């Protein structure tokens, strides 16, 4: 429903999924306890909110005119302050590395 209401393009969705996968890899690296540790992994991140933040970031990265965060929040049924926090956390998790070479993007497209 979020994709439909936001009129998300294929390219935006593809890039958002790429960011989501990268974020998941970063989270696993941070959360995996050493093999000798008995500590359980930390609580997983909400996948829906992670994808929403990735959609917002991908849309802003690819498009000159984008949907405002308040509109994204309304579409998703979340407070805009929460969405802003998710977006900031994801940007930090990705180390603000949003660019993707054309070749890497096409490789990613074949994976999808």
What pLDDT does 42 receive?
A: 47
Nearest to 58 by CA among 3, 12, 104: 12
CATH value at residue 83: 1.10.472.10
How confident is the prediction for the chain on average, in pLDDT? 87
Identify the band that residue 31 occupies on the pLDDT scale cut at 50, 70 and 90: low
Q: Which of 44, 45, 51, 41 is nearest to 8 (CA)?
A: 51
Q: What is the pTM of this model?
A: 0.83
- The SS3 of residue 40 is coil
| 13: confidence class by pLDDT, cuts 50, 70, 90 | very high
Domain tally, the chain? 1
Q: Which of 15, 35, 6, 41 is nearest to 94 (CA)?
A: 15
Distance CA 76, CA 44 (A): 20
Residue 53 has pLDDT above 70, yes or no: yes
Q: For the segment 66-99, what is each residue's pLDDT rounded down to a tens digit?
A: 999 999 999 999 999 999 999 999 999 999 999 9
* Residue scoring higher pLDDT (67 or 45): 67
Domain range holding 32? 2-111
pLDDT given for residue 40 in this prediction:
46
């Amino acid at each position: 429903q979020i994709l439909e209401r936001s009129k998300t393009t294929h390219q935006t969705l593809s890039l958002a999924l790429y960011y989501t996968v990268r974020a998941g890899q970063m989270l696993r690296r941070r959360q995996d306890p050493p093999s000798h540790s008995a500590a359980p992994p930390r609580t997983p991140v909400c996948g829906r909110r992670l994808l929403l933040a990735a959609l917002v970031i991908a849309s802003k990265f690819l498009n000159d005119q984008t949907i405002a965060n308040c509109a994204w929040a309304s579409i998703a049924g979340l407070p805009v302050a929460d969405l802003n926090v998710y977006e900031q956390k994801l940007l930090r998790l990705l180390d603000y590395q949003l660019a993707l070479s054309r070749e890497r993007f096409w490789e990613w497209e074949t994976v999808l």
